[in-house]
Structure 1
Amino acid sequence: MKRRHLGRALAMVIFVAVVVSYFIPLPYYVTKPGMAKELAPIIKVEDGYKESGDFKLTTISMGEANVFTYGLAKLMKYWDIYREDEIRGEEETDKQYEMRQLQEMEGSKVKAIISAYREAGKSYTPIYRGVYVYGIVAGLPAEKVLEVGDRITEVDGQRFTSSKQFIHYVSGKRAGKTLKLEIIRDKQALQKEVQLAKLPKTGKVGMGIVLVDDVAVKTEPKVTIDTAKIGGPSAGLMFTLEIYNQLVKEDITKGKDIAGTGTMDENGNVGPIGGIHQKVVAADKSGAEVFFAPNEKGEAGSNYSVAKKTAEDINTDMKIVPVDTLQDALDYLEKMKK
């Protein structure tokens, strides 16, 4: 009887230990293959052409590690473990990281629209909306006033047409000078004041923010991209291909299931991303027949070389295609057989 009670007690202790370990975070992140998501349902060009196949973005799944997921990642193939400082910036909070990822996604959509509309010969007009606060230098006055995700639309009653103009105006002031800002935060217009200071690394005068241009695009025909809470810039190439395909009469999917990844700039250049081995696994599980991978001009250890090695390792029939530009992808699709 005593042994039975001891056995139950031991089982209860183990159960509690497992539950507790699940909720205790570790200073690591775990990533694993995510999903391959069809783009046609989330990208809509007004009166756009339909397609017989699919373009898909690919993702990785990431979360804070606990004892359970950390141990599992040690055992599972294509699961990776990263230190916090490898994922988040120095002194960057979870909220700031999330905001940065969402802003990178917004920038990715703008660049994809510009590249696709230019390639299709359609009308588009970039609209400068202000300076987006991408990061904040710790210890400077701006840290107590601004937040990552704020959009600065006016400085001392002036509006600018580029971040270069903004930087030129600010750097021309002296340390200790207070600037009056108009910002947009959570869709609300706010008035703020920020005192300038000398930046610790350069000694130049500034607010102590990392910034990027906040740009929207007016197009004809109109296009909408509903990415919900998907973050990061890595879907740029696939966004571009989906938008382009809805703009032109010829269906460049030719009925095939096409996945891929890679950033996209305004000039149609494809850039590398992280976690491509996991994205290859995700694409293969979704049934993709083709996977576009950034070639990085053939450099050793490029996204393409890693993707190709992963494809061989999982023994997939999916074709891995290297691309440096949007044109590389279009050229491949043009020659691709139905």
Structure 2
Amino acid sequence: MPRRTATMLASTLIFIALICAGVLVPVPYAEMSPGPTFNTLGNAGGEPVLRISGRKTYPTKGHLNMTTVRVTGADYRMNLVETVYGWLAHDQVVVPHETLYPDGKTEEESTQENAEEFTQSQESAKVAALKELKIPVRAQVVVSTVVKDSPAEDRLHAGDVIRAVDGKPVTEPEDVAALVTQRKPGEKVVFTIVPAKEAVAAEKAGKQPTITDDVTITTAKSPETGKAIVGIQAGTDHTFPFTIDINLADVGGPSAGLMFALGIVDKLTPGDLTGGKFVAGTGTIDDEGKVGPIGGIEMKLVGARQAGAEYFLVPQANCRAAASDIPDGLTLVKVDTIADATASLEKIRSGRTAGLPSCAAG
């Protein structure tokens, strides 16, 4: 065989071997890409995303779209070819696998965590929206979870309202741990509670619960801190003066909080927040209306622009990353609170966009 032919054959075989290796050999990366967007003022799956009953609502127009990101599953292992393509593509981002699934988290565990965060984001969105509108919301400290095989198991239950610990009133979830840790491990602590069933029945009847129980629990020693514990996690439960339902399936995580809150504000106030414009955005939100950062901002911008968005509300902490690659035709608007967002929307609908707070790169 001529040397030239042999060299070409060898090169071809090496090239084929490299291609096969690139396709067959898994690499420790995962991929993010733009997901669908949902108009919080519109419908999803034939149902309104936001349904409010027991309070006057107003017609809305325009868009306040929440944005999502698609990610590869925890069990999926990208190959080298996919990874290189993802690095080169404009509408994909390749990140280390552990960024999306830290500590070996399974896809099922990640899905459950995202579902819990999504539920909490809805609760905070309702609270933030009503506070922005100066509508009173009643809050109470409750048992969120009870640790299996802990002293509190079968003594306290999720949903129990905690009124006091050792006779001292509880107004914040943090108060519970602070009062319990004043005891030494092995000492008894007394919880004054409204049982969950009684609390639910009273809420349905629109009344304050009247039945309370004193529950005595012997504390245990925390293996991490050595302090006294009973094995519960306290949280906050809110009672709203009317019903707000958020209907959106197959979405997880906390990043829709801001857009849900704005959608609620829009439906409860005359006129339109957007003036009919197409506004998208993202951001977590807490009970006080503070907007927090999210992941996958670059992909959310691409997805929003593909859906037709003209403006995008960006959490302040995500501004630098967002401004590094802005899709053509999309204006970024920096927000730090729900009040910032409503003020910027007023400028958008009135056409005074020159004064919008913007995101700067670098």
**TM-score > 0.5 by shorter chain:** yes
User: For 1:207-226, what aligned pairs fall within 5 Å after superposition?
Assistant: 207=230, 211=233, 213-220=235-242, 222-226=243-247
- The reply to whether residue 325 of structure 1 matches residue 337 of structure 2 is yes
How many residue pairs are counted as aligned between the two chains?
290
Distance 2:329 2:303 in 1: 14
Q: State the 1:258 CA deviation.
A: 0.7
CA contact (8 A) 2:129 2:262 kept: yes
Structure 1 match to 2:64: 55
TM-score by length of 1: 0.71
Q: State the 1:246 CA deviation.
A: 0.5
Structure 1 residues 124 and 227, CA gap change in structure 2 (3 angstroms): farther
Match of 1:45 among 52, 55, 60: 52
Distance 1:179 1:95 in 2: 37
Q: Could you report, residue by residue, the CA deviation over 1:162-199 in whole angstroms, capped at 9, with x for unpaired residues?
A: 42343245324543579999998xxxxxxxxx985433
Distance 1:170 1:21 in 2: 55
CA contact (8 A) 1:26 1:66 kept: no
Match of 1:153 among 150, 155, 160: 160
Structure 1 match to 2:119: 106
User: For 1:1-338, what aligned pairs fall within 5 Å after superposition?
Assistant: 29-40=30-41, 41-46=48-53, 47-62=56-71, 63-64=73-74, 66-68=76-78, 71-76=81-86, 77=89, 78-84=92-98, 86-88=99-101, 90=103, 94-121=107-134, 123-128=135-140, 130-133=142-145, 142=150, 151=158, 153=160, 162-175=172-185, 197-207=220-230, 211=233, 213-220=235-242, 222-296=243-317, 303-311=318-326, 315-336=327-348, 337=350
Distance 2:111 2:79 in 1: 21
CA contact (8 A) 1:130 1:160 kept: no
Distance 1:61 1:173 in 2: 47
- Report SS of the residue matched to 1:110: helix
- Report SS of the residue matched to 1:164: helix
Gap regions ≥5 residues in structure 2: 1-19, 42-47, 197-216, 352-362
Q: Could you report, residue by residue, the CA deviation over 1:243-288 in whole angstroms, capped at 9, with x for unpaired residues?
A: 1000110211111111001111222221111111111111111111
Distance 2:227 2:106 in 1: 26
Distance 1:142 1:94 in 2: 28
Structure 1 residues 170 and 141, CA gap change in structure 2 (3 angstroms): farther
- Report SS of the residue matched to 1:310: coil
Identity %: 28
> If you compute each CA radius of gyration, which structure gives the higher value, 1 or 2?
2
Distance 1:97 1:177 in 2: 37
Structure 1 residues 124 and 199, CA gap change in structure 2 (3 angstroms): same
The CA RMSD over aligned residues, in Å, is 4.0
Structure 1 residues 165 and 33, CA gap change in structure 2 (3 angstroms): same
Gap regions ≥5 residues in structure 1: 1-16, 185-193, 297-302
Distance 2:301 2:149 in 1: 44
TM-score by length of 2: 0.66
